[in-house]
Amino acid sequence: MYNVWRPRKRPSKKILDSKDKLFGATLANLDLAGLNLQNAKLAKANLSHTNLSNANLIETDFTEVSDFTKANLFGANFDNANLIDARLTGI
């Protein structure tokens, strides 16, 4: 059959555990789609223009003005995440 669309296999991504400290990390313009960031400490992180679609962000700490400006959050799971003072402009 010709012209049949087939999804590409994505390489597996590193799973971050709750011990990882990403306070103030610059993660702007990255493709983090589907990444497991459960319980990560991302307070004051720069996630602007980052693809976080379908990411596991359960119980992740995004406090103190984490920047999500124009980030792709489609399908991301923010259950019990801390978003106090997070910047959510243009999403």
- What confidence tens digit (pLDDT) does each residue in 34-52 have? 999 999 999 899 999 999 9
Bridge partners of 69, per DSSP, are: none
Instruction: Tell whether the model's pLDDT for residue 7 goes beyond 80.
Output: no
Q: What confidence category does residue 19 fall into, taking pLDDT thresholds of 50, 70 and 90?
A: very low
Among candidate residues 26, 21, 17, the one with its CA nearest the CA of residue 58: 17
pTM of the entire structure?
Answer: 0.75
Among candidate residues 43, 37, 32, the one with its CA nearest the CA of residue 10: 32
Residue with tokens 């296999």, as numbered in its chain: 9
Query: Would you say 16 and 40 are in contact if contact means Cβ atoms under 8 Å apart?
Result: yes
**Count of beta carbons in the 10 Å neighbourhood of residue 84:** 11
